[in-house]
Homo-oligomer: A and B are copies of this chain.
Amino acid sequence: MRKSRQETAETRQRILEAAAAEFRRSGIGSTGIAELMAAAGLTHGGFYKHFESKDQIVEESIALATRSLATAIESKLSSAKAGHGLNAVLKDYLSAERLEHCEEGCPFGTLGSELARSNERVRQATTEGFVAMVTLIAGQLDDLPPVAAKKQAMVMLSTMIGAITMARIFTDSDLSVSLLRETRKHLVK
């Protein structure tokens, strides 16, 4: 049952989005092709009509997830009052909702240690995503010269990532909430 070109393209995109969510929810290694295709409403056999390998969809879905995050941050920044953009981003990123919903969360936070062991292309996509987000955040630090702003933004972003990563591990949810709150206070000052 061949599909039209448009349907094929839409299906590919649907698989990609399902993958970006499933990988963030369950991890890259623990998410099988069958699981990810089922999340897109298909059976596993058709996967290879759209992607060459699991490696390829990992790479593309990480790139998609970082682009989504960048878009979300941009929209938070542009809808906030002047001078309050960063605060809005922090409030969103370090919120209880993001803590719970890995599948829509920051791929650096949900997949960090797995990405460090991924192949060159995946790590390259991740690095580029990180740099793009650093640039966005640095744009908000207009009281600093550009180079210093980038350095500061880089530290801020990795601080946020460390906080959400650890908060997701803790068995004590008070501790999680406290870490997110204190991190926000620390970065906002």
Q: Count chain A residues whose beta carbon lies closer than 8 angstroms to a beta carbon of B.
A: 45
Mask of A137-180 contacts with B, CB within 8 angstroms, 1/0? 00000000000000110110011111101101111100100110
Question: Once the chains bind, are A165 and B112 in contact (CB under 8 Å)?
Answer: yes
Chain B residues lying within 8 Å of A26, measured Cβ to Cβ, are 117
Asked whether any CB of chain B lies closer than 8 Å to the CB of A33, the reply is no
Among residues of B, the one whose C-beta sits closest to the C-beta of A108 is B166
C-alpha gap A159/B152 in the complex (Å): 13
Interface of A is mostly: helix
CB distance from A75 to the nearest CB of B (A): 23
Asked whether any CB of chain B lies closer than 8 Å to the CB of A47, the reply is no
Within 8 A of B (CB), among A25-67: 26-27, 29-30
Asked whether any CB of chain B lies closer than 8 Å to the CB of A10, the reply is no
Q: Per a CB cutoff under 8 Å, which of B110, B117, B127, B182 touches A171?
A: B127
Question: Once the chains bind, are B116 and A186 in contact (CB under 8 Å)?
Answer: no
Mask of A105-129 contacts with B, CB within 8 angstroms, 1/0? 0001111111111001001101100
A-B contact pairs, 21 of them (CB 8 A): A26-B117, A27-B113, A29-B29, A108-B165, A110-B113, A110-B116, A111-B113, A113-B113, A113-B168, A116-B165, A116-B168, A123-B170, A123-B171, A127-B169, A151-B178, A154-B182, A155-B159, A158-B163, A158-B165, A158-B166, A165-B165
